[in-house]
């Protein structure tokens, strides 16, 4: 197996309304990306997910119940990645619109890889925690770490689901294949852990006073999960300030072991919350199947912006085309909290700028 070709591969199922079950291998190379369709009513077959290593397969079979949340978490992570990188040269593109396959971008140990690993492992922890609070899975944290007959610990001392179980699942599953002694595994492990640590760091304590006449004589607190956008923002900052590393080889009893060391001794060494990488990113300006770059041709750009989403930077100095477009749009909408919007239709004229 080519270690560098496959990074982390998680099964991703999108089980929507019982129509189609789509199983896609995530973060695999293009060649391994497969699509499966089958009936939604069928149970998930762990064996049918491509690219799982034996440890992951075992995990999948033991915890089949939470696998949909794992998949949901990966999806959440990718969506957040696409949101955070929406105006940039690399915009977290996935092939086939299936949210799943990044192509060879992640084969290199770049900042982008670091970010995707971190956000996806954070997403898994997030989604699993959430599904535990929904009650859709029965194997969440509480029962596992209390001894004695089931239910007794709960009746005696209570137990509330927090992020620990989600983090545990994420660690077990996503890190399962990162056990090699090479630099890439070390980097992935570090970045996965950074994503999970971010989840734990962003849990915030909320409290309620309910003593005599509502006084704070009795106060109960719980940990609340943040908006996932906050996680995305934070990891995006970490992406911008990611630490460049160099690979060091050591001779150990089990053979050669590669470890990472900060490249610049002048800077602070990365903490467990920082993202690390050791290869430079391609510039993503021109399409290049080798690096997985799609290029920025035909990408829409913002002519008034001087930032990375501005036409100058996004188009890599190639200039841009402008065309006028008439769009029918919904306007003067009245929203209801859900599911129903009454709008008028307006026609608006836009200037659309795309990169040459």
Which residue ranges make up the site for other proteins (CB under 8 A)? 16-17, 83, 130, 132-138, 140, 142-143, 150-151, 154-161, 206, 208, 210, 212-214, 216-224, 227, 229, 333-341
**Of 72 and 178, which has the nearer Cβ to other proteins?**
72
**Of 30 and 159, which has the nearer Cβ to other proteins?**
159
**Of 1 and 138, which has the nearer Cβ to other proteins?**
138
Strand, helix or coil for residue 158? coil
225 DSSP 8-state letter: -
Cβ–Cβ < 8 Å for 162, 155: no
Cβ–Cβ < 8 Å for 77, 124: yes
Q: CA geometry: angle at 299 spanning 195 and 93, to 5°?
A: 30
- Shortest approach of other proteins to residue 144 CB, angstroms? 11
Strand, helix or coil for residue 94? coil
**Of 81 and 176, which has the nearer Cβ to other proteins?**
81
Q: How far is CA 34 from the centre of its chain?
A: 20
- Shortest approach of other proteins to residue 132 CB, angstroms? 7
- Shortest approach of other proteins to residue 214 CB, angstroms? 7
Q: Which helix (H) or strand (E) holds 278?
A: none
Q: Whose CA is closest to 288, among 103, 50, 58?
A: 103
- Shortest approach of other proteins to residue 38 CB, angstroms? 19
**Of 155 and 251, which has the nearer Cβ to other proteins?**
155
Name every residue whose Cβ is closer than 8 Å to that of residue 294 and which is 6 or more positions away in sequence.
93, 284, 287
- Shortest approach of other proteins to residue 48 CB, angstroms? 22
Cβ neighbours around 351 below 10 Å, total: 9
Residues pairing with 287 in the sheet? 294
Cβ–Cβ < 8 Å for 262, 270: yes
- Shortest approach of other proteins to residue 40 CB, angstroms? 13
Q: Indicate the pairing of strand 204-209 with strand 219-224.
A: antiparallel
Q: Whose CA is closest to 207, among 218, 199, 197, 198?
A: 218
Gap between the Cα atoms of 332 and 295, Å rounded: 37
**Of 150 and 255, which has the nearer Cβ to other proteins?**
150
**Of 139 and 257, which has the nearer Cβ to other proteins?**
139
- Shortest approach of other proteins to residue 185 CB, angstroms? 32
């Amino acid at each position: 197996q080519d270690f560098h070709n496959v990074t982390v591969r998680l099964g991703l199922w999108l089980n929507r309304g019982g129509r189609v079950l789509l199983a896609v291998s995530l973060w695999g190379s293009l060649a391994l990306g497969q699509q499966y369709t089958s009936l939604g009513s069928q149970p998930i077959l762990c064996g049918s997910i491509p690219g799982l290593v034996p440890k992951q397969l075992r995990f999948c079979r033991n915890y089949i119940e939470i696998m949909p949340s794992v998949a949901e978490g990966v999806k959440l992570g990718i969506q957040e990645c696409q949101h955070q990188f929406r105006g940039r040269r690399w915009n977290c593109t996935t092939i086939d619109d299936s949210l799943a396959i990044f192509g060879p971008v992640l084969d290199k140990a770049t900042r982008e890889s670091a970010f995707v690993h971190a956000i996806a492992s954070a997403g898994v922890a997030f989604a699993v925690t959430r599904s535990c609070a929904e009650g859709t899975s029965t194997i969440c944290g509480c029962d596992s770490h209390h001894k004695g007959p089931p239910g007794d610990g709960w009746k005696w001392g209570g137990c509330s689901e927090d992020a620990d179980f989600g983090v545990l699942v994420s660690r077990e599953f996503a890190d399962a294949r990162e056990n090699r002694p090479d630099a890439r595994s070390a980097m992935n492990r570090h970045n996965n852990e950074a994503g999970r640590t971010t989840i734990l760091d962003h849990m915030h304590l909320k409290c309620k006073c309910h003593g005599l006449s509502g006084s704070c004589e009795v106060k109960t607190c719980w940990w609340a999960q943040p908006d996932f956008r906050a996680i995305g923002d934070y990891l995006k900052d970490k992406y911008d300030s990611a630490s460049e590393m160099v690979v060091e080889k050591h001779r150990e009893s089990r053979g050669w072991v590669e470890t990472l060391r900060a490249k610049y001794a002048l800077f602070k060494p990365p903490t467990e919350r920082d993202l690390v990488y050791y290869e430079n990113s391609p510039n993503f300006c021109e399409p290049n199947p080798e690096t997985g770059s799609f290029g920025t041709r035909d990408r829409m750009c913002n002519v008034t912006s001087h930032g990375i989403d501005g036409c100058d930077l996004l188009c890599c100095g190639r200039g841009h085309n402008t065309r006028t477009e008439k769009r029918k749009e919904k306007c003067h909408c009245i929203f209801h909290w859900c599911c129903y919007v009454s709008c008028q239709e307006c026609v608006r004229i836009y200037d659309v700028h795309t990169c040459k």
